[in-house]
Structure 1
Amino acid sequence: MNLHIIAATFLVFAAAQAQAATPITHVAIYRGPAGCADCSQNVKAALLRLDPHYQIDFVGADEPVDITPQTLARYDLYVQPGGGQDIPAALDSLGDARADAIRDYVAGGGRYLGLCMGAYLADDNNLGLITQDLDSEAGRPGFEVSGIEDAAVRVTWDGKPDTVFYQDGPYFPKATSASAYTTLATYENGDVAAARYTYKKGVVVLSGPHPEAGQAWFEDADIPLDKMPRGDLFGTLIRSVQE
């Protein structure tokens, strides 16, 4: 057997494995009108609680770093945080050029983490990173919230029961051969609360609730602090997007 062929095959395999397991060190977090007032800062704080060595930049039209193919190429992860209720307006505020840059970044092997509004923006009607259209979990059969009020809801996250901050986030329709995903979390009624998709060469991890929410969000919403997550819910998402 040709040892040169064996060696070359091994090197290609090793390179592919290394690329798949590239650690997250540089993170871009969107900040701007498509997000809420403190959503971006809250994501940054949650990331730094996981690892204080993350190098994090806010990106957007009014930031020192805008969203372009060239700038996104610097990052291992792009985060689209939560926002308001107007999804079309959020997409319009991004603009076509930034939306195309995000889509191309993921298609080329980038990682996208979408939280609440960031999940809605990933759907087929918006950025098109998944082939499903998303709708709110609020008011769904068996769900404990019927409106847009802030709440702590029961979930099973990474196989463990917990509670998490919820703010009119989506659920993910049942997977099909055309829209396959890995379930990361479910609401108490069994609807999918967080999921991992792929888009071309990239990874798309989406969450309906806000596992990144810190103590201040619970206090501002008058939600008892014993309803804060006990487990490392946000860390589960980051580990999933890194796989």
Structure 2
Amino acid sequence: MYKILPMTRLGLATIQQNRSKVIKKVNELLYNDELVYRVEEKIRCITEKFPEGHLLFPGSIVVSSETLLEKCQTDLTNEDITSSLSRLNLVKKIAFFDGLNCGSFCSDPFYLFFQTFGLKVDRISDADIRNGILNEYELLIVPGGPDAGESYYEGLGEKGYEEIREFVSNGGKYLGSCAGSYFPLMAEPNTIPSDVWLNMIPATDLHGLDYWRTGTGFVRVEFEDVMHPVALNVAMGNPSTIDMIYWEGPAFELLEGADIHVIARFKDFIASGKSLPSWSLENNEIAENAMKWANPLTSERFDEHLKGYPAIIEAPYGKGHMVLFSPHAEFGTCGTDHSMDENPNFLLLMNSIYYLSGRGE
């Protein structure tokens, strides 16, 4: 017998009233090496609540019927649904880069995300990386910062860069946001970007370090792959979109023959300091600040530099794997009624960590 935690979101309605607390409990189970599974393709099965049969959608969690789950909406089934399940994985050793020239305005939201979902994450510095500490970790998270990733060179230097490349090449996982996603890109040889980027994956930003060309605002991205594990419980239906806070992130340009999978693309401009939103932003201070930034995104800039370009991608590097976000999932939503700990954009990051944790299994 299995215990089911439906995680479905249809419209604004969610079965779990507090999905972040459910995921925090799931992570506690994973840290304790208990078996946790996730529905990968929809299943119709008979359950205790629905003896006539009911659909379980991808992203729902399944555990042993004996597992204690307080304050969670659960159901039970006696049916053998194992063929539609995959084991959920969570790496135990996660490093968060917070070194020289990393901005607290980008790091602090990540710390809230870690706390919200009960993740055990170590802050590491430039010196730690140069001294080989990544050998102790399975996943490296690199946040955004006040540039296109180039200022990380001042703290990491060539030794730190090589440590990161070796870490991923040997099977490590990498999750990047904004500047942390510019960072692994490839640049033309003998240019300044080629000296200050990692040159790891066959993708670039055609404008190099000129991140000021775009600006800051609210954007809508469309999932190109709604069934991708990163999109589970966020994308519902095809097509499916989500609104995110954008802050001068890369417009990924895939190079010829690139082994890169596009998860989502930039679709629409929504608002900025030049075109203020009509709704309240009081539930998200970061969203308020984005509207006051000195370099606002405009619809014309969006159409020229972002529209149609990949916004979220994944790529292998050696034996390792990377997921890269141009917009800031850690910044929460664009000022809707969601509290920060219940915003759906945090799920994109958690899904990315689950996905990377299972790579190479």
Range of TM-score over shorter length: 0.7 to 0.9
Matched residues, number = 204
**How far apart are 1:187 and its partner, in Å?**
0.9
Pair 1:153-2:219 in alignment: yes
Is the Cα contact below 8 Å between 2:200 and 2:317 reproduced in 1? yes
Kindly report the root-mean-square deviation, in angstroms, between the aligned alpha carbons of the 2 structures: 2.9
**How far apart are 1:132 and its partner, in Å?**
2.4
Match of 2:200 in 1: 129
- 5 Å matches for 1:1-243? 23-49=90-116, 51-52=117-118, 54-61=119-126, 66-68=128-130, 70-85=132-147, 87-124=149-186, 125=194, 126-135=197-206, 147-149=214-216, 151-157=217-223, 159=226, 160-174=240-254, 176-177=256-257, 179-188=258-267, 189-214=307-332, 224-225=335-336, 230=344, 232-242=347-357, 243=359
Is the Cα contact below 8 Å between 1:171 and 1:193 reproduced in 2? yes
Normalising to structure 1: TM-score of the pair? Answer: 0.73
Residues 200, 22 of structure 1: alpha-carbon distance in 2 compared, 3 angstrom cutoff: farther
CA distance in structure 2 between the aligned counterparts of 1:147 and 1:182, rounded to whole angstroms: 24
Over the matched positions of the two proteins, sequence identity in percent amounts to: 26
List gaps (5 residues or longer) in structure 2.
Answer: 1-87, 187-193, 227-239, 268-306
Normalising to structure 2: TM-score of the pair? Answer: 0.51
* 1:15-73 residue CA offsets vs partner (Å, 9 max, x unmatched): xxxxxx86312211111223212322322322333x31x221111137xxx11464112
**Whose radius of gyration is greater, 1 or 2?**
2
SS of the aligned residue for 1:164 comes to strand
**How far apart are 1:101 and its partner, in Å?**
0.8
Deviates further, 160-169 or 31-40: 31-40
Deviates further, 233-242 or 161-170: 233-242
* 1:81-128 residue CA offsets vs partner (Å, 9 max, x unmatched): 000125433323321111111111011000111110001111123112
Is the Cα contact below 8 Å between 1:129 and 1:204 reproduced in 2? no
Amino acid at match of 1:184: I
SS of the aligned residue for 1:82 comes to coil
SS of the aligned residue for 2:262 comes to strand
Amino acid at match of 1:77: L
Is the Cα contact below 8 Å between 2:254 and 2:260 reproduced in 1? no
